[in-house]
Amino acid sequence: MTFQRARTEEQREIRRQAILDMASAMLDEMPVAAVTLNELSRRVELAKPNVLRYFESREAVLLELLDRFLQEWLTELASELAAGIDENWPMAERAAAVSEILSSSLSSRVVLCDLFGAQGSVLEHNVSVEVVARYKRASLDRLTTMTALLLKYLPELGENATLFSLQTMVMAGALSAYSTPPPSLQAAYQAEPDLARFHLELKDYLKLALTATLLGVLPRN
């Protein structure tokens, strides 16, 4: 794409969305750690200083994408929960279904999980107070949405629903790092199969972790 200088707010927004869309396309090809501002600038055909007119850093771009992907996931999650759970089921059946749906839904969204994993250690660094505060305010809204979804199908969670929602996203990010080993580690697993026990299948281990967490916070009766 070739851009002329943006002269109106509408044109500036078009530029911003083009940068975000290109970064999103790059994440389909490579992990978060491999996305650089230089490569993004090259692909979007803007000089790096011009990209920085719209986003103050690579991390600012990725934080905005994380919020976008999280909104999209929560919209789809609402449909998945509605299709997969009968609110009249016994609590144990609903809890099992919630764990299954969450683990399946998140494990199919590799990019979202990768961004979750990078959020605290990478993405929230090298950004201004304004940018990170704006992201955190949006995150509170997403957390509220997810909490309400879970309470609809597991009202027994009560005040633990918010914590469980947050833990779900944290676990998805942490476990995803172990489910996509780099080529050198894949070669080590092939050479020494015993080492492969460290390779976690995201869906299976996320389901196990979510189930264990639910067992810890749901009423025993």
Q: What is the pLDDT of residues 104-114, one digit of tens each?
A: 999 999 999 99
Cα(42)–Cα(11) distance, integer angstroms: 20
Cα(178)–Cα(174) distance, integer angstroms: 8
What is the token pair recorded at 44?
A: 């979007």
Closest alpha carbon to 117 in 126, 106, 127, 128: 106
What is the token pair recorded at 156?
A: 């027994």
Cα(5)–Cα(110) distance, integer angstroms: 35
pTM over 0.85: yes
Within 8 A by CB and 6+ apart from 143, the residues are 162, 165, 166
pLDDT tens profile 91-136: 999 999 999 999 999 999 999 999 999 999 999 999 999 999 999 9
